[in-house]
Amino acid sequence: MNIYVCIKQVPDTETKIKLTSDQTGIDVTGIKWIISPYDELAIEEGLRLRDKNPGSTVTVLSAGPARVVEAMRNALAMGADSAIHVDLPENADNNWVAKSLAGALKKESKVDVIFTGKEAIDDGAAQVSQLIAQYLDISYVTVVLGAEYTATSVKCKREIEGGSFEIVESNFPVLIAAQKGLNEPRYASLPNIMKAKKKEVKALKASDVGTSEGDQKIRYKNFQLPPPKQVGKKITGDPATQAKELVRLLHEEAKVV
C-alpha cells in the first residue's frame, strides 16, 4: 500500500508574531516552527496503517520554502520512509500549494491513501485537503475521528455540526483529513532522529509539478495585529453591591444591556 501524508510547517503557538514592514504577512525572523498538530495526527495514522499492512510505505510531502524540510525530517524521525519537498515561496496560497502537492502525487506510480490534517493552525483555512482531492479527482473525507480499513476501502467516522457524527465509506484512492481524537501521535525516538538524517527527501520545483505563480489566487495586504486587551475591572463589595455595579457597567460602559 502506498501511503502519503501532506504536512505544513507552522509557527509554534507560543511564538510572538510580528508583521513585515509592508504588512503583507508575518515576519518569519526568529520564529520557532513546528508541524501543524493536526498533521501530526495524519502522520501517525499513516504509520499505523503501514504497520498493519506489511510492504507498505509512508511518504511525507510538503510545499513551501527550504525551511519546511526541517518539519519533514521530524516526520521522518516519527517513522515515515521518505519525503518529497516542493519548493514554493513563503507567500504561496492554498490553491498553489494544493495544486503543487497534487502535481507531485501525480508523478508517483500509485497512490492508495493520502492523509492530511483537517486544517493548519496558522490560517485555519481548511482548504488544501479538499483542493488536493479535487485536483487528483479522488474521494475525500474530512474531520475524521475514526477509521476502519480493508485492503481496498475505508469507513470513516467524521464530525458534523451540532455534536453529531456520520459514517462515510470510500474505496481507495482516498484522501482523509484528520481531526483531534483520531489517534495519539508518537514521539520521535533518538535512534529514529539519527536515522531520519539519512532518509531521502526528494526536491522538486514548481515547474516539475506543473505549477507556477499564475496558480496563486490570493494575495494578502494590510495585516493587522489584534488590539491589546483592555485592563480588566475588579468589582468589590457584598454580592448585592457587586451585582448592581456589574449591571451598571454592562449598561453604561459595555452597552450590552
Domain count, the chain: 2
Q: Which helix (H) or strand (E) element contains residue 19?
A: none
Check pLDDT > 80 for residue 32.
Answer: yes
The domain in which residue 198 lies consists of 2-215
Check pLDDT > 90 for residue 128.
Answer: yes
C-alpha cell of residue 221: 495586504
Sign, CA dihedral 19-24-29-33, equals positive
Read off the pLDDT of residues 187-204 as tens digits, 9 standing for 90 and up: 988 888 998 988 889 999
Tell the residue number behind the cell numbers 493536526, with chain if given.
38
Asked whether the beta carbons of 196 and 188 are under 8 A apart, the reply is yes
Q: Is residue 222 part of a domain?
A: no
Is there a single domain that holds both residue 242 and residue 141? Answer: no
Is there a single domain that holds both residue 105 and residue 201? Answer: yes
**β-pairing verdict for 139-149 and 153-159:** antiparallel
Q: Is residue 61 part of a domain?
A: yes
Is there a single domain that holds both residue 159 and residue 241? Answer: no
DSSP state, residue 188: P
Q: Is residue 220 part of a domain?
A: no
Check pLDDT > 80 for residue 142.
Answer: yes
Is there a single domain that holds both residue 106 and residue 232? Answer: no
CATH of the domain at 153: 3.40.50.620
Is there a single domain that holds both residue 120 and residue 30? Answer: yes
Check pLDDT > 80 for residue 257.
Answer: no
Question: What pTM was computed for the model?
Answer: 0.85
Is there a single domain that holds both residue 149 and residue 211? Answer: yes
Is there a single domain that holds both residue 141 and residue 249? Answer: no
Q: How would you class 105 by CB atoms within 10 Å of its CB: exposed for 0-12, middle for 13-18, buried for 19 or more?
A: buried
Is there a single domain that holds both residue 158 and residue 197? Answer: yes
Q: Is residue 241 part of a domain?
A: yes
Q: What is the pLDDT of residue 151?
A: 93
Is there a single domain that holds both residue 128 and residue 250? Answer: no
Q: Is residue 221 part of a domain?
A: no
Asked whether the beta carbons of 31 and 11 are under 8 A apart, the reply is yes
Is there a single domain that holds both residue 173 and residue 234? Answer: no
